[in-house]
């Protein structure tokens, strides 16, 4: 674009007969422009800062307009930022609603469609703003010390309900004497007695809980409606605007029940809270039907397993006459929306590497509308997507393509179209690696396993390429046919990349996920090795140049792999669990992991923990191995990495440790951290790659 502007600038000067110098400049600019448009350059690490993507598209109630979040990065501050844009449903009049190096997000139309609220940190803290859509006038609705979370309009648009953290005074245990005037003592001791005392990405937890608030749509002071010891979830209004529904675990034993929650009804005038469901498991995401007669929600029974498949239920408003709608689907569902006629619902679900948008009638018949949702996870190829539905059944969604981050999609029935090209300025001049889907059989039980091969730009099938096996985390998550900056950077560096969904992955049914229950790592190893063999059989992979990496659950499997085979030239183990016994007592989710992934506590059956730990195989490792973790990671804490590093050093295995300063489990939450991660992996692999 910049060269094209120069071309027209010089054309204007020539028409004014300035001089021969400008004619020469015109000639060379024209040549440069043609050369620039013909040469496809490879994707580089600095291009990370130029990536944009669409998220949280909100279609207006009448289906005529869409407000969406346009996400971008600032190379100077190393931050992920976002503004709001608006576009007509036919793709015309695409323009910004907000601008600036800030984070504007969470747009929500009023029921009449004449107003919209959103959240922004443009004044230094996250607050709620109200915008009139006809004039563009705005007002700041809140000025609170904490960040409002989920927000919901009442049916008459007169009020907003939201949940927000309310801190409590921290207890002081040690009674310190008064210090002398001018003395410089250390901060007082921190007294901890909570079950959940720290959170990955949030640090040590402050005492308090999320409470429900009521706010006039004209502004003013929010009114606190609840005073619970435990968090209350996102609000959902009843149609008479007299009650608010929410999900929570309000039992005294809640800290020891990490997967239990119920639905509650809060009467606004009296403050009374009524329990609507009673399940051992999760009930959440309540949605009241447009006619006000039915309640839809997501539920999952607690089967004492590490995975949960959310299913769609409907009931009366009081929770009675419950009916399971998705009994025949055998897929976990998410993001439910009622149809305007109250005769069915829309939802999204993962299915064999794709995220689908579907409609389900009240008799349980499912009709898939599109499988093109996704594209909101830029680092690794995880399935992540958003959508919303208008009263006429038209919908807006994040449109996924294997070679592009999310753009804005619009759909009517099964007809969809792409409304934006937010990365055209970058990818029109980049050549990315081609993505090819692959299915193969596992050597363990001949199950069909899905994966994807990404080839280097300018791929030549007659050449031999080094291979990187990249393994997803979770372990119950899944990869898909979506854009991944990490995978594309590996391909741009000359590697063929294989990523797969081994047993346990989401999108293949509950039985497939349950195969690794209390058996992880296990036969997922065979699934991964069979994938490597399947790619080698294609003839373009150098068997002497195989590499392996993965993060979190993928880090566990990477460490497990190098303990079982020496066929890889080098490995990078990212944010792993190395010793399950230490992990389940040290992670921020220790209650969940100890209860749902093992049959007994570590002191009751230490061998169960040891046999599933990569530490048990460290005596077999000869593969040069790098371990990479964020220093502020509380999910798979740095101590796991340090144990493995120490063990490998004691065995004199060639190894290294990379510590990402300030990074939590989501290492790539800052653009430079993503670059550092990929650069570290490639540098380590290049060190051992044979020419």
Q: Which residues of 552-688 form beta strands (DSSP E)?
A: 570-574, 625-630, 655-660
Decide if 594 contacts 587 (C-beta within 8 A): no
The values of phi and psi at residue 667, to 5°, are: -55, -40
pLDDT, tens digit, for every residue of 292-308? Answer: 999 999 999 998 888 88
pLDDT, tens digit, for every residue of 149-186? Answer: 999 999 999 999 999 999 988 777 788 888 899 999 99
Phi-psi region of 418 (alpha: psi -120 to 50; beta: other; left: phi over 0): beta
Q: How far apart are CA 277 and CA 623, in angstroms?
A: 52
Which two three-digit tokens encode residue 134?
């006809």
Decide if 564 contacts 525 (C-beta within 8 A): yes
* Residue 443 exposure: Cα atoms within 13 Å on the Cβ side: 10
At 544 the pLDDT is 96
By DSSP bridging, strand 415-418 and strand 404-412 are antiparallel
At 486 the pLDDT is 97
At 648 the pLDDT is 98
Burial class (CB in 10 A: 0-12, 13-18, 19+), 70: buried
Angle, helices 671-688 vs 485-492, to 10°: value is: 40
Beta bridge partners of 163: 212
* Residue 164 exposure: Cα atoms within 13 Å on the Cβ side: 23
At 288 the pLDDT is 98
Instruction: Give the per-residue SS3 of 182-202.
Output: CCCCCCCCCCCCCCCCEECCC
Decide if 168 contacts 207 (C-beta within 8 A): yes
Q: How far apart are CA 598 and CA 587, in angstroms?
A: 15
At 142 the pLDDT is 96
At 32 the pLDDT is 39
Helix (H, G, I), strand (E, B) or coil at 627: strand
Decide if 232 contacts 252 (C-beta within 8 A): no
Of 504, 379, 351, nearest to 442 by C-alpha is 504
Assess whether the previous peptide bond of 475 is cis (omega < 30° from 0): yes
At 21 the pLDDT is 35
Helix (H, G, I), strand (E, B) or coil at 371: strand
At 308 the pLDDT is 87
Of 92, 138, 93, nearest to 115 by C-alpha is 138
What single DSSP character describes residue 268?
Answer: T
**598-619 in b/e burial notation, b at 16+ Cβ within 10 A?**
beeebeeeeebbeebbbbbbbe
Q: How far apart are CA 11 and CA 215, in angstroms?
A: 58
Count other Cβ atoms within 10 Å, centred on residue 538.
12
* Residue 351 exposure: Cα atoms within 13 Å on the Cβ side: 16
Of 403, 298, 423, 391, nearest to 348 by C-alpha is 298
DSSP secondary structure, 134-153, as one string: TT--EEE----SS----EEE
Decide if 528 contacts 442 (C-beta within 8 A): no
Decide if 106 contacts 120 (C-beta within 8 A): no
* Residue ranges of the chain whose pLDDT lies below 70: 1-40
Which two three-digit tokens encode residue 430?
């980049």
At 401 the pLDDT is 81
Which two three-digit tokens encode residue 493?
């560096």
Q: Which residues of 552-624 form beta strands (DSSP E)?
A: 570-574
Decide if 480 contacts 354 (C-beta within 8 A): yes
Phi-psi region of 182 (alpha: psi -120 to 50; beta: other; left: phi over 0): left
Of 242, 225, 337, 322, nearest to 288 by C-alpha is 337
Decide if 478 contacts 377 (C-beta within 8 A): no
Q: How far apart are CA 244 and CA 236, in angstroms?
A: 5
């Amino acid at each position: 674009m910049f060269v094209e502007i120069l071309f027209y600038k010089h054309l204007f000067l020539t028409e004014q007969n300035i001089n021969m110098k400008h004619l020469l400049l015109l000639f060379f600019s024209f040549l440069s422009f043609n050369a620039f448009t013909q040469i496809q350059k490879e994707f580089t690490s600095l291009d990370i800062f130029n990536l944009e993507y669409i998220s949280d598209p909100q279609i207006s109630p009448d289906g005529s307009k869409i407000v969406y979040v346009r996400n971008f990065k600032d190379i100077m501050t190393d931050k992920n930022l976002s503004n709001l844009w608006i576009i007509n449903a036919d793709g015309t009049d695409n323009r910004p609603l907000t601008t600036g190096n800030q984070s504007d997000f969470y747009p929500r139309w009023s029921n009449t469609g004449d107003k919209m609220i959103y959240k922004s940190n443009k004044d230094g803290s996250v607050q709620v703003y109200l915008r009139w859509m006809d004039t563009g006038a705005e007002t700041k609705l809140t000025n609170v010390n904490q960040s409002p979370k989920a927000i919901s309009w009442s049916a008459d648009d007169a009020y907003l309900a939201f949940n927000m953290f309310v801190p409590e005074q921290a207890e002081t245990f040690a009674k310190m004497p008064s210090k002398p005037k001018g003395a410089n003592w250390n901060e007082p001791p921190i007294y901890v007695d909570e079950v959940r005392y720290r959170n990955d990405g949030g640090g040590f937890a402050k005492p308090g809980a999320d409470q429900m608030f009521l706010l006039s749509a004209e502004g003013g002071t929010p009114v606190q409606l609840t005073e619970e010891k435990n968090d209350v979830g996102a609000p959902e209004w009843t149609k008479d605007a007299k009650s608010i529904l929410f999900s929570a675990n309000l039992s005294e034993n809640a800290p020891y029940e990490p997967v239990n929650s119920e639905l509650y009804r809060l009467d606004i005038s009296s403050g009374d809270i009524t329990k609507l469901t009673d399940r051992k498991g999760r009930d959440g995401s309540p949605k009241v039907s447009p006619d006000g007669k039915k309640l839809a929600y997501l539920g999952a029974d607690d089967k004492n397993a590490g995975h949960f498949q959310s299913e769609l239920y409907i009931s009366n408003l009081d929770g009675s006459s419950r009916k399971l709608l998705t009994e025949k689907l055998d897929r976990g569902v998410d993001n439910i929306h009622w149809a305007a006629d109250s005769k069915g619902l829309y939802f999204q679900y993962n299915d064999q590497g794709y995220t689908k948008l579907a409609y389900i009638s009240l008799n349980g018949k499912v009709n898939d509308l599109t499988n093109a949702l996704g594209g909101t996870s830029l680092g690794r190829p995880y399935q992540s997507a958003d959508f919303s539905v208008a009263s006429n059944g038209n919908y807006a969604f994040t449109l996924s393509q294997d070679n592009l981050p999310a753009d804005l999609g619009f759909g009517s029935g099964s007809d969809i179209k792409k409304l934006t090209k937010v990365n055209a300025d970058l990818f029109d001049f980049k050549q990315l690696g081609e993505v090819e889907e692959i299915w193969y059989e596992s050597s363990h039980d001949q199950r069909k396993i899905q994966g994807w091969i990404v080839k280097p730009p300018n791929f030549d099938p007659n050449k031999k390429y080094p291979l990187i096996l990249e393994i997803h985390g979770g372990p119950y998550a899944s990869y898909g046919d979506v854009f991944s900056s990490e995978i594309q950077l590996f391909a741009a560096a000359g590697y063929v990349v294989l990523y797969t969904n081994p047993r346990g992955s989401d999108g293949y049914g509950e039985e497939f996920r349950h195969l690794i229950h209390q058996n992880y790592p296990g036969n997922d190893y065979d699934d991964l090795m069979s994938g490597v063999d399947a790619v080698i059989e294609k003839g373009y992979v150098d068997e002497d140049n195989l590499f392996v990496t993965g993060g979190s659950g993928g880090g566990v499997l990477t460490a497990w792999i190098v303990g079982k085979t020496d066929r890889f030239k080098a490995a990078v183990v990212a944010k792993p669990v190395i010793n399950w016994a230490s992990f389940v007592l040290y992670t921020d989710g220790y209650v969940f992991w100890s209860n749902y992934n093992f049959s007994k506590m570590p002191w009751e059956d230490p061998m169960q923990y040891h046999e599933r730990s990569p530490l048990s195989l460290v005596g077999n490792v000869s593969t040069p191995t790098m371990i990479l973790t964020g220093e502020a990671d509380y999910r798979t804490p740095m101590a796991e990495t340090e144990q493995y590093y120490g063990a490998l050093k004691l065995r004199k295995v060639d190894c290294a440790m990379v510590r990402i300063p300030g990074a939590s489990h989501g290492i790539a939450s800052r653009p430079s951290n993503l670059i550092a991660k990929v650069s570290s992996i490639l540098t380590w692999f290049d060190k051992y790659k044979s020419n």
